[in-house]
Amino acid sequence: MSPETSETRYGTLVMRAILACIVLLLLASGAIVARVLTRAASPDPPVDPQEFAIAQARSDLAQDPESPKLHTDLGLALYRVGREQEAADEFSAALGLDAGYGPAAAHLATALWFSGNRDGAVSVLTDYLTENPGDTELRFQLATYQQESGETSAAAGSLRLVLDRTPADAAARYRLGACLEALGERGPAVVQYREALRYSPGYAPAIDALRRMGETP
């Protein structure tokens, strides 16, 4: 074989090798593009926002496990997805860290109440208010539970304590009027309904109560 022939064959082999490399690169590029397009056409399933909130709350709590607020936040996230017992455990843990942490007491009482444990709900609020008598929001919550449980006299007492601190609370005055009416104290009930309207003109429940009693709002 002449040197010219050998050189020609060598050049041919080199060209074929270069072409083969180009073909392989094109095939690889096509595969990458196809993969990207497939992924774009089939996105990952969306994350459930409520489960994400639970995961985030757990992560936050892991950073500060002694925080009553973070225990309460996790409890709320759990409660929203119907995991009531786990939520109650977190609210209880928060109160174990700080017995005066109102949000935990309020949420634990709510969870117990709606699970059917009415006595437990009243007990949680009573214990909390023994140490935190100035919390009118939770005392109003206690009065509401007492009234709905048929403990009308106790509810009236709780509402009077609320009004001692917040006399312009129309909702508290209306509820006190309802308690007094249920106890047969018509005159004082009318007074409370009228007081509710004085502080909140147009307050519909008080107007309805007065009309039902034959009184002019």
Mean pLDDT of 161-167: 98
Residue 16 maps to a domain? no
On the CB side of 129, CA atoms within 13 Å amount to: 21
Which of the two residues, 30 and 127, has the higher pLDDT score?
A: 127
Same domain for 102 and 162, yes or no, is no
The predicted structure's pLDDT at residue 47: 74
The predicted structure's pLDDT at residue 2: 46
- C-alpha angle 155-156-158 in degrees, rounded to nearest 5: 65
The predicted structure's pLDDT at residue 14: 44
- Give the percent of the chain with pLDDT over 90: 73
d(CA 57, CA 86) in angstroms, rounded, equals 13
Query: pLDDT per residue over 131-157, tens digit each?
Result: 999 999 999 999 999 999 999 999 999
* Total tally of structural domains belonging to the chain: 2
At position 162, the amino acid (one-letter code) is V
Residue ranges with strand state E in the chain: none
pLDDT at 22 exceeding the cut of 60: no
The predicted structure's pLDDT at residue 191: 97
Residue 88 maps to a domain? yes
Residue 101 maps to a domain? yes
Residue with tokens 């607020």: 69
d(CA 91, CA 70) in angstroms, rounded, equals 10
18 pLDDT tier (thresholds 50, 70, 90) = low
Residue 169 maps to a domain? yes
Residues near 158 by beta carbon (within 8 Å), at least 6 away in sequence: 139, 140, 142, 143, 146
Residue 62 maps to a domain? yes
Structural domain of 81: 49-108
Same domain for 101 and 162, yes or no, is no
35 pLDDT tier (thresholds 50, 70, 90) = low
Residue 93 maps to a domain? yes
d(CA 190, CA 211) in angstroms, rounded, equals 10
Query: pLDDT per residue over 184-198, tens digit each?
Result: 999 999 999 999 999
Angle between helices 102-114 and 118-131 (to 10 degrees): 160
At position 19, the amino acid (one-letter code) is L
Residue 136 maps to a domain? no
175: CATH: 1.25.40.10
Question: pTM for the complete prediction?
Answer: 0.76
Same domain for 161 and 214, yes or no, is yes
Residue 70 maps to a domain? yes
d(CA 204, CA 208) in angstroms, rounded, equals 6
Query: pLDDT per residue over 193-217, tens digit each?
Result: 999 999 999 999 999 999 999 998 8
